[in-house]
Amino acid sequence: MKLGTWLSIGSPIIAELAAQSGFDWLLLDLEHGCSTETGILPQLQAIRGTDTAAIVRVGAPYPDLIARVLDWGTHGIMVPHVNSAAEAGQIVKASRYSPDGSRGFSRTVRANDYGLSSIDEVAPPLIMAQIETIEGVNHAAGIAAVDGIDILFVGPSDLQHDLKNRSDLAPGDFDFCISRVAEAAKAAGKATGILVRDIRDTGKYRELGFTYIAVDSDLAILRKSYLGTTKS
């Protein structure tokens, strides 16, 4: 299992501390987090030299944004609301150089140590496609089959919200949907991931085959600690 956590605050100090604490990967959140694009690079610099991988969640699958965070040296990207194989294919295309994609090429970006390393030495980015809607669940098999998609990552809050508000279209309840996603990923030889709020829930998802599990966020951990102090 690869254990991660969400970084929503955008602090390089928190990123550095989290990496030194032994997480396998960290999610730097550009969708709902407080960080701006300019705040991503200092966080990446803060965890350099550790064994912790940095994954940036882009707010939308814009090719220029995907290329920029990859040029900065992130190990991979997470893209929210991936609903079809066609969308997944476009994400992969934006993440790869010609002839497999449309990503712009530069020898002097941080991912190449500003020109000190060969482009051939840079590993392909890890791509996490978030399954957060009924459409995403229904098309999970097709999304997983796309070459270059490495992980189907369930967004539990969005998926539960969608299931609640469009129950007439739901293929089943939340547990049914995450099982369907896990089965689709396994059939395609891909991994699955999910965000949990309680470390005790990791066992349940490991049994379902989930191997990339993020536990809580920096913001939530601080909130709980502050409230625990003021309410005690």
SS3 28: strand
Q: Residue 37 to residues 14, 58, 63, 228: CA-CA distances in angstroms?
A: 17, 9, 14, 32
Pairing of strands 126-131, 151-154: parallel
Q: How many whole angstroms separate alpha carbon 217 and alpha carbon 164?
A: 24
Query: Which distant-in-sequence residues (6+ apart) come within 8 Å of 29 by Cβ?
Result: 6, 7, 8, 35, 57, 217
> Which tokens go with 91?
């994400």
Does residue 81 have an active-site annotation?
no
CA dihedral of 68, 71, 77, 79, whole degrees rounded to 10: 20
Cis peptide before 80 (omega within 30 of 0): no
In sequence order, the β-bridge partners of residue 79 are: 129
Q: How many whole angstroms separate alpha carbon 1 and alpha carbon 90?
A: 28
Catalytic residues, which ones? 32
